[in-house]
A and B are shown apart, each in its own frame.
Chain A
Amino acid sequence: MKPPSRRNLLHSFTGTALASLLHGEALSARNPLAPKPPHHPAKARAVIQIFCPGGLSHVDSWDYKPELTKRQGKPFDAEGKLQFFASKPGNCQQGWWPFRQHGACGRWISDLFPRLAGLVDDMAFIHSMQSKSALHGPAMFMANSGFILPGFPSMGSWVTYGLGSSSADLPAFVVLPDPRGLPPGGVINWGAGFLPAVHQGTTLNTDPARPPIDDLFPQDEFAHLKGDAERQSREFLQTLNRTHAASRQTNTELEARIAAYALAARLQLSAPEATDLRGESEGTRKLYRLEHPDIGPFGRQCLLARRLVERGVRFVQIYCGAENTTAKKVRPNWDSHEDLVRDHGYWGQILDSGAAALLTDLKSRGLLDGTLVICTTEFGRQPAAQGAGKGRDHNPGAFTAWMAGGGVKGGTAHGHTDDLGFKAAEKPLFCYDLHATALHLLGLDHEKLTFYNNGINRRLTDVHGHVIKDIIS
């Protein structure tokens, strides 16, 4: 990166007439990302969602099941009637990590998450989550968009559609994928569906070796010109565009396109700035354990999320895990079919360290009150072993999600599963309620946030959804 030339580039785009275009009334009236008032006063102004793809096991983590411990090793399905997604149930398998009570609220958390356990008084759990699919892709789509079919807008898209952007220089909805790769279902998970495409999530490369956004800068071998010559070339381009627009008055597409070049130029400055962690204190770097070879990358994602929210990004989604392929040394996400201790053990310390650092950091900076942190997965895992092995199969019948900050009442819980954690038993719900609650905290009424598409006023929550009142303050 060559700061002087970028700065010149910025001037060449934003100078004179363009500046008025960018900030003028005329454009903001049409700008789909212009800030919009909420339906009711908001508790949260931003969301950081941590998504654990592959299926995080609730019975090994957040959902304390003493009855399962009692039945350890006994047949789960003596009559042999059940068929799990990829296997027949084996014996009952207690949580692989012991549970303890934590915090003033006394909630039970397993030893898989020692750091998060210390923050339990800030967290609210939903133990009765269910999904409509036992397949990773469709269940991911459901968790993100409310529909198991691909092609519907994700929650982040709905939020930016409803509230607009509060950052002039960064995208409103940013996705931080695992540096190992994209999660099951790929980019569809943060697609805008039928909403205008400006609402789709922008992925930020989380591999520090790569530029933060694709095409932010030319690859070296194609960078024909440097410095001043490049600036002259860009000025020539803007001259072409201005001449073209001048003969076409009141042409909004052309104005918007010129503005897009200006925003692109700003991104060239703002994205590297937002992702440059060198200014962070030693204490912060240690908090997120950036130097740790396994834990560090996710810590970096979490730290980036905080920096983005600080800079006005509305919705940040962090993926803790990649595609669901077979294990090399360890599975690339939480999908622990054959060795849960190995895979959840690995991913557990990553999530524990990064998410706890994030909550602590947000809190210490006074950002947690206005930032809703959500931790979800696409489905849970079975309370029985997978066959005779050491893993667990998919369980769409029950899983746990938690929220913190942004108007959430800490130390609370909603719903529970049956004695074994097999199915949601009390207050069973789907992602609709979680989505409705998140929108509510952001000041949006999930029944009013609609978009007309082929004859239907579509909603994130389709025809479902209730705000979960007992976990909000």
Chain B
Amino acid sequence: MLCLASHAADPVFFESKVLPILQQRCFECHSHGTKIKGGLALDSRSGWEQGGDNGSAIKPGQPEASLLIKAVRYTDADLEMPPKGRLPTSEIAILEEWVQKGAHDPRTSGASKPRKGIDLNAGRQFWAFQPVRDPAPPTVKNADWPADPLDHFILAKLEEKSILPVTDADRHTWLRRVSLDLTGLPPTPAEIQAFARDNSPQAYETVADRLLTSRSYGERWARHWLDLTGYADMMGTSNGVYAEHAWRYRDYLIAAFNADKPFDQFVREQIAGDLLPATSTEDRAENIVATGFLMVGDIEIVNPDKAKMETDHIDTQMIKIGQAFMGMTLGCARCHDHKFDPIGLEDYYGIAGMLRSSPSSHKMPDMGVWSTINSTVLPETPAQLAARKTLESETEQRIAAMKTKQKKLTEERASVMAQLAALGKATAPVAQIAAATDNAEREVAPPTKTAPTADKDALTKRRDALDADLKKLAGDINHAEFFKDKTPRAFAMSDGPQPSDMPVYVRGNPYAPSNVVPRGVLRVASWDRLPAIPTGQSGRLQLADWLADKRNPLTARVTVNRIWQKLFGTGLVPTVDYFGARGDLPTNPDLLDHLATRFMRDGWSQKAFLRTLVLSRTYRLSSANPKSAFPDPQSKDPENKLFWRMNRQRLDAEALRDSMFAISGELIRDSGGPALVMENPENCASLSLKGVNPPNYAHKVPRPSQEFERTIYLPVFRNNFAGPDRLRSVFDFINPAMIAGDRPQTVVPTQSLFLLNNDLPRKRASALAAKLIADEPDELARLEVLWLRALSRPITSTERAEAAALLKAVTPPGKPTGSAAWTELCHSLLASNEFVFRL
């Protein structure tokens, strides 16, 4: 050791003894050539002087105060380095000596770079952060082609590449396309015939307006939005904890889309509805429910570490806000400046401070480590209040009635027990009777004189029946009392008692707070300073105003791109959720800005915007690949990035299921309200607010109507995320743990098996066949109707012959074609590719 000590300040000692240890044991994670974990680089003197997230790593001359020494000694479980295992004692001794003697380190290379920071001016040059422009529609050679200014942008690009757009789709195809796109349902035969007969120039407008004003429109487009929220009717993935108010947010969305709430207003409500002025009780309630946007996602509520849990909740909300409105991956900036985009820790913690000022969960007082999501009592109109009071008093009466019954049955049971006891005594030896003289039951009901065995059996049977009834009754009473308060509530945001700025959490760790950053928004996408946040407020209102401002370069672009993607299959920016540096560039930037400008100019009306899109020439194009179009667009733009034809889309899970029910005539059109069947005590368990696990829900007994409701109204579970409805899991329904604007459209054999063998399409085929047979006695006419209903087009003569042949082939000789044959034919159509695709 003496020998070592004498050399400790010697450069040779450093080079020969210390440096090899650092290189072999530390550089893998702490040098510029590899990684700089925890912000600590050990490849230069300034690296360890400046240190990492925990500060300077070495205090020369003070091994006891040096984090590096502490770490290699493995004495603090939270700071053990290297993580793979303790160094040999001899190596630790070398490091201790080196630090003790002043930590001589001649290295200046490795260039410990100070935190680079974000170059905002450079960042603003990126297209997505540039202000939205209003380019003039370009002139095109084929001036007759465009039906709308947007078509000029499309055609100009095509003409540039000498690509001819394909021909228009036929009217049947267009009608089915627009009906499915706007409402998620195919047109009815009557609607098809009306459109076919309408020769006026406004025929297409008439259809678009009819669809946009139908209730089905909101039911379809609200579901698209739900994909961006992580919506489910359960809170986390653990223990079946139900999110009993989530449905209010879903119903709010359907109403908001149907009312064509201006999107800027919609955005404000999502982020800060609770802080907005309202002119009526209904508006106020709506505004509160709207903030469910930030509450309905996948939130783990059973973490014992509440600080960590809060930080994770905020992160979930940050990711959601970033992705839904900005097309930015804000979550990356939780631990470090964004690696690719000009978003810094300051930006992240600026917004996070607003969310931290509005807590979204609280610990359940008598429920172990469990927390729950905050809810707000909704204001009620006098009529709503009166209706609720009536409901509550009915519940009270029902409880009273059940209690009366319980009392009666309890008394009867006592009587039965006494009779049984008496019977026992009547036949029992004398000694036992003597022993039982104190039995209180004897006095309740004196034993009857007659006591044959048949009586005993009857009494035992009765007792068992009473026991079963009483058990169920006790459960029902407990259930009714647990849910007797019918006060309307919603999962909603509200400002906490002490809104404040928050510190940057080093590496996202709430136990390593660093400098406090002022609440704010993305600087790179800002045109001015954020208005001051009034004292006592979270700042969500300012964030909402910033997002909904016409000068925000992201919100309108992201939104029109999402809507475009739903109609055309691919976004103008194909990465619809990510507009950052590593995302796709817009394939037609002028068109994107043209659409964003129009969207804002038309008062952020989504209906007006959709109307524009579906009436455009581009939307009207056929989806067929022409076999030998000249010049061949397939070779020039095989991916159809320039939209020279329409993209086919496979029906998503909702459209597929809803269409089947619509075609079979079984769809229930009037739905809404709670998705979970909480009113059935069989579905609820642990109904107590004290215990180890909170009350929970299992979807054992669905509401009978749920089989026939539109898919958006079905409960969404997290564990088995499609729950009882297998169709959703087979056809790419979004996993509610994910937030994604674009669902995959997979092709897997389980889908074919589902369509062929699952009872859902088979039952629809039966119902459809029965309906056809009842409605249309003539078989040929019946075939016409079937094709219109299922495929939204007239049957061809070949198909007519083939269908007739099939009907004949599957019918026993000499018999009339019955419902079985028709069911089989209907089933074939519902399983066909033409039905499964929207062309």
Binding site for B on A (CB under 8 A): 83, 85-86, 134-138, 149-151, 182, 184-188, 191, 193-194, 196-198, 202, 213-219, 221-222, 224-225, 229, 232-234, 236-237, 239-241, 243-245, 247-251, 253-254, 256-261, 263-264, 267-268, 415, 423, 426-429, 452, 454-456, 466
- The answer to whether B721 has its CB under 8 Å from any CB of chain A is yes
Are A86 and B692 neighbours in the complex by a CB distance under 8 Å?
yes
**Which residues of A sit under 8 angstroms from B550, Cβ to Cβ?**
none
**Which residues of A sit under 8 angstroms from B580, Cβ to Cβ?**
455
Complex Cα distance, B428 from A24, in Å, reads: 87
CB distance from B242 to the nearest CB of A (A): 16
Kindly state the interface size class of chain B when it binds its partner.
35 or more
Are A248 and B624 neighbours in the complex by a CB distance under 8 Å?
yes
CB distance from B374 to the nearest CB of A (A): 21
Among B85, B341, B650, B824, point to the contact of A426 (Cβ < 8 A).
Answer: B85
A-B pairs, top 9 by smallest CB distance, nearest first, are A151-B737, A264-B752, A186-B719, A150-B737, A222-B762, A455-B582, A197-B746, A264-B749, A263-B749
Are A229 and B836 neighbours in the complex by a CB distance under 8 Å?
no
Are B749 and A191 neighbours in the complex by a CB distance under 8 Å?
no
Among A197, A198, A224, point to the contact of B824 (Cβ < 8 A).
Answer: A224
The residue in B332, B623, B832 that gathers the most chain A C-beta atoms within 10 A of its C-beta is B832
Are A264 and B756 neighbours in the complex by a CB distance under 8 Å?
yes
Among A136, A237, A455, point to the contact of B583 (Cβ < 8 A).
Answer: A455
CB distance from A262 to the nearest CB of B (A): 8
**Which residues of A sit under 8 angstroms from B332, Cβ to Cβ?**
455-456
Complex Cα distance, B736 from A188, in Å, reads: 10
Are A215 and B236 neighbours in the complex by a CB distance under 8 Å?
no
Provide the B289-306 mask, 1 if CB < 8 A to any CB of A, else 0: 000000000101011100
Are B737 and A135 neighbours in the complex by a CB distance under 8 Å?
no
The residue in A137, A236, A248, A260 that gathers the most chain B C-beta atoms within 10 A of its C-beta is A236
- The answer to whether B238 has its CB under 8 Å from any CB of chain A is yes
Among A135, A150, A237, A251, point to the contact of B648 (Cβ < 8 A).
Answer: A251
Given A215-B757, A237-B831, A239-B802, the answer on whether A455 and B578 have CB atoms closer than 8 Å is yes
Complex Cα distance, B536 from A187, in Å, reads: 44
Are A257 and B836 neighbours in the complex by a CB distance under 8 Å?
yes
Complex Cα distance, B692 from A86, in Å, reads: 9
Beta-carbon nearest neighbor of B745 in chain A: A253
Beta-carbon nearest neighbor of A251 in chain B: B625
Complex Cα distance, B650 from A464, in Å, reads: 38
**Which residues of B sit under 8 angstroms from A224, Cβ to Cβ?**
762, 766, 820, 823-824, 827
Complex Cα distance, B623 from A71, in Å, reads: 75
Among A134, A186, A260, point to the contact of B751 (Cβ < 8 A).
Answer: A260
Are A135 and B625 neighbours in the complex by a CB distance under 8 Å?
no
The A-contacting residues of B in range 737-751, CB under 8 angstroms, are 737-738, 744-751
- The answer to whether B837 has its CB under 8 Å from any CB of chain A is yes
Beta-carbon nearest neighbor of B77 in chain A: A423
Among B624, B692, B721, B827, point to the contact of A188 (Cβ < 8 A).
Answer: B721
Are B806 and A245 neighbours in the complex by a CB distance under 8 Å?
no
Provide the B220-246 mask, 1 if CB < 8 A to any CB of A, else 0: 000000000000000011100000000
Binding site for A on B (CB under 8 A): 77, 80, 83-86, 236-238, 298, 300, 302-304, 323, 329, 332, 340-341, 368-369, 575, 577-578, 580-583, 623-627, 634, 648, 650, 692, 718-721, 726, 729, 732, 735, 737-738, 744-754, 756-759, 762-763, 766, 798-799, 802-803, 806, 809-810, 820, 823-825, 827-829, 831-834, 836-837
CB distance from A248 to the nearest CB of B (A): 5
Beta-carbon nearest neighbor of A195 in chain B: B744
CB distance from B636 to the nearest CB of A (A): 14
Given A188-B237, A188-B719, A197-B744, the answer on whether A253 and B837 have CB atoms closer than 8 Å is yes
CB distance from A273 to the nearest CB of B (A): 16
Among B236, B624, B799, point to the contact of A247 (Cβ < 8 A).
Answer: B624
CB distance from B302 to the nearest CB of A (A): 6
**Which residues of B sit under 8 angstroms from A193, Cβ to Cβ?**
738
CB distance from A100 to the nearest CB of B (A): 28
**Which residues of B sit under 8 angstroms from A256, Cβ to Cβ?**
747
Given A217-B757, A236-B828, A426-B85, the answer on whether A137 and B236 have CB atoms closer than 8 Å is yes
Beta-carbon nearest neighbor of B796 in chain A: A243
CB distance from B575 to the nearest CB of A (A): 7
Beta-carbon nearest neighbor of B753 in chain A: A215
Given A187-B721, A455-B583, the answer on whether A267 and B749 have CB atoms closer than 8 Å is yes
Given A253-B837, A264-B753, A454-B578, the answer on whether A222 and B719 have CB atoms closer than 8 Å is no
Are A454 and B329 neighbours in the complex by a CB distance under 8 Å?
yes
Contacts A198-B746, A264-B749 known; 6 new A-B pairs at CB < 8 A: A85-B304, A136-B238, A243-B798, A260-B748, A428-B84, A455-B341
Are A253 and B329 neighbours in the complex by a CB distance under 8 Å?
no
B interface secondary structure, majority: loop
CB distance from B725 to the nearest CB of A (A): 13
The residue in A193, A197, A213 that gathers the most chain B C-beta atoms within 10 A of its C-beta is A197
Are B85 and A232 neighbours in the complex by a CB distance under 8 Å?
no
Complex Cα distance, B496 from A291, in Å, reads: 62
**Which residues of A sit under 8 angstroms from B237, Cβ to Cβ?**
137-138, 150, 185-186, 188
Are A197 and B84 neighbours in the complex by a CB distance under 8 Å?
no
Are A197 and B748 neighbours in the complex by a CB distance under 8 Å?
yes
CB distance from B581 to the nearest CB of A (A): 7
Beta-carbon nearest neighbor of A428 in chain B: B83
Complex Cα distance, B112 from A77, in Å, reads: 44
Are A233 and B824 neighbours in the complex by a CB distance under 8 Å?
yes
CB distance from B818 to the nearest CB of A (A): 10
Beta-carbon nearest neighbor of A233 in chain B: B824
Beta-carbon nearest neighbor of B80 in chain A: A428
Name 15 interchain pairs, CB-CB below 8 A, sorted by A.
A188-B718, A197-B748, A198-B748, A202-B750, A232-B806, A233-B828, A234-B756, A247-B624, A248-B624, A248-B648, A260-B747, A263-B752, A268-B753, A455-B329, A455-B580
Among B303, B625, B749, B824, point to the contact of A225 (Cβ < 8 A).
Answer: B824
CB distance from A132 to the nearest CB of B (A): 10
Complex Cα distance, B732 from A267, in Å, reads: 20
CB distance from B431 to the nearest CB of A (A): 38
Are B329 and A456 neighbours in the complex by a CB distance under 8 Å?
yes
Are B737 and A149 neighbours in the complex by a CB distance under 8 Å?
yes
CB distance from A432 to the nearest CB of B (A): 11
Among B718, B766, B809, point to the contact of A229 (Cβ < 8 A).
Answer: B809
**Which residues of B sit under 8 angstroms from A253, Cβ to Cβ?**
648, 650, 745, 747, 837
**Which residues of B sit under 8 angstroms from A452, Cβ to Cβ?**
582
**Which residues of B sit under 8 angstroms from A257, Cβ to Cβ?**
747, 752, 833, 836
Complex Cα distance, B327 from A455, in Å, reads: 11
The residue in A187, A193, A237 that gathers the most chain B C-beta atoms within 10 A of its C-beta is A237
The residue in B238, B718, B719, B803 that gathers the most chain A C-beta atoms within 10 A of its C-beta is B719
CB distance from B655 to the nearest CB of A (A): 16
Complex Cα distance, B721 from A30, in Å, reads: 29
Beta-carbon nearest neighbor of A430 in chain B: B83
Complex Cα distance, B807 from A225, in Å, reads: 12
Beta-carbon nearest neighbor of A416 in chain B: B85
Are A241 and B832 neighbours in the complex by a CB distance under 8 Å?
yes
Among B84, B623, B763, point to the contact of A222 (Cβ < 8 A).
Answer: B763
**Which residues of A sit under 8 angstroms from B634, Cβ to Cβ?**
250
**Which residues of A sit under 8 angstroms from B832, Cβ to Cβ?**
237, 240-241, 244
Among A213, A247, A259, A427, point to the contact of B85 (Cβ < 8 A).
Answer: A427
**Which residues of B sit under 8 angstroms from A264, Cβ to Cβ?**
749-750, 752-753, 756
**Which residues of B sit under 8 angstroms from A188, Cβ to Cβ?**
237, 718-719, 721, 735, 737
Are A215 and B238 neighbours in the complex by a CB distance under 8 Å?
no
CB distance from A427 to the nearest CB of B (A): 5
Complex Cα distance, B746 from A259, in Å, reads: 13
Given A197-B746, A454-B329, the answer on whether A135 and B756 have CB atoms closer than 8 Å is no
CB distance from A159 to the nearest CB of B (A): 17
Complex Cα distance, B834 from A250, in Å, reads: 16
Are A135 and B238 neighbours in the complex by a CB distance under 8 Å?
yes
Beta-carbon nearest neighbor of A222 in chain B: B762
**Which residues of B sit under 8 angstroms from A229, Cβ to Cβ?**
809-810, 824
